[in-house]
């Protein structure tokens, strides 16, 4: 029994607006892909350099403004 049936005839106003906007300016979608790549698609992490960075950190005092 399928509880959620997709209605094929209905398209929301927002979906229509986006489709119309993309037909007027096809570069929008390319810009979206470029923005996603800039923010989310990262280079693989180099585990050796990450380990060296963590080992080279100097431990901070519990209360920074107190001098011993």
Alpha-carbon span 52 to 55, nearest angstrom: 5
- pLDDT (tens digit per residue) in 1-25: 566 666 678 889 999 999 999 999 9
- pLDDT (tens digit per residue) in 21-67: 999 998 999 998 999 988 888 888 899 999 999 999 988 777 777 77
Integer angstrom CA distances of residue 43 from 28, 39, 48, 51, 53: 25, 11, 15, 17, 17
pLDDT at 1: 54
pLDDT at 65: 79
- Is the separation of the CB atoms in 10 and 16 below 8 Å? no
């Amino acid at each position: 029994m399928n509880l959620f049936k997709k209605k094929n005839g209905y398209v929301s106003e927002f979906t229509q607006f986006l489709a119309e906007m993309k037909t007027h300016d096809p570069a929008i979608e390319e810009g979206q892909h470029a923005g996603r790549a800039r923010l989310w698609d990262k280079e693989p992490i180099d585990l050796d350099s990450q380990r060296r960075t963590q080992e080279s950190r100097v431990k901070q005092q519990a209360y920074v403004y107190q001098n011993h």
